[in-house]
Amino acid sequence: MNFFSWYYSAGIKKLTNLYRSFLIIIWDNFSISLLAKTLFAPWKRDIVMARGGGLPALFQATVMNLTSRFFGFLIRSITILSGLVIMMIVVVLGAIILVTFIAFPATAAILLYLTFSNSFLWFIPVLLMGIIIYIFQFNHRIKNPLCPCP
């Protein structure tokens, strides 16, 4: 198997699997689906029961329960929003990395030419190659990041 057939088949597949793993980890760490199901639940299941005292005790219990639900809604909404913002950042960065990865062999020759023609651009190909090597080393070390088994 030559380099280009590996690069454009198995290489892209490994990169997309790594990208998908990042999205799954973010979704699980922020518990977006669970928080969406319990969006209007009281914060930390804090519920006050009205015990005797008539109407003032019932009013106080209702206010406390609504306050607890409001704080639960507020904190869960902020957490869901934060998780979705981070997922959008990962989606954009993943698309940029994928496009860069696909175009890298074609642009490597241009970057090498620029490197030897202008001495101050030597770090660009080194940086891009370092990023690609790091991505594949990370993917090689962690087969399934959600599974703690070796």
Instruction: Report yes or no on 149 lying in a domain.
Output: no
Instruction: Report yes or no on 3 lying in a domain.
Output: no
pLDDT digits (tens, 9 = 90+) for 85-118: 999 999 999 998 888 888 877 777 776 776 677 6
Average pLDDT over residues 49-78: 86
CB 108 within 8 A of CB 117: no
User: According to the per-residue pLDDT averaged within each range, which of 45-49, 61-65, 74-78, 115-119 is highest?
Assistant: 74-78
The parent domain of residue 59 ranges over 9-141
Higher pLDDT, 49 or 15: 15
Instruction: Report yes or no on 13 lying in a domain.
Output: yes
d(CA 38, CA 43): 10
pLDDT digits (tens, 9 = 90+) for 17-35: 888 988 999 999 999 999 9
Higher pLDDT, 136 or 103: 103
Instruction: Report yes or no on 106 lying in a domain.
Output: yes
pLDDT at residue 77 is higher than 90:
yes
User: According to the per-residue pLDDT averaged within each range, which of 3-7, 110-114, 126-130 is highest?
Assistant: 3-7
Q: Which of 29, 21, 30, 15 is nearest to 95 (CA)?
A: 15
CB 75 within 8 A of CB 43: yes
Higher pLDDT, 25 or 50: 25
d(CA 85, CA 62): 34
pLDDT at 87: 94
Total domains in the chain come to 1
Contacts of 122 (CB under 8 A, 6+ apart): 115
Tokens read off for 149: 């088994």
User: Collapsing DSSP states into helix, strand and coil, what is residue 21?
Assistant: helix
3-state SS of 68-130 is HHHHHHHHHHHHHHHHHHHHHHHHHHHHHHHHHHHHHHHHHHHHHHHHHHCHHHCHHHHHHHH
Instruction: Report yes or no on 130 lying in a domain.
Output: yes
d(CA 12, CA 126): 20
pLDDT confidence tier of residue 84, bands split at 50, 70 and 90:
very high
Instruction: Report yes or no on 89 lying in a domain.
Output: yes
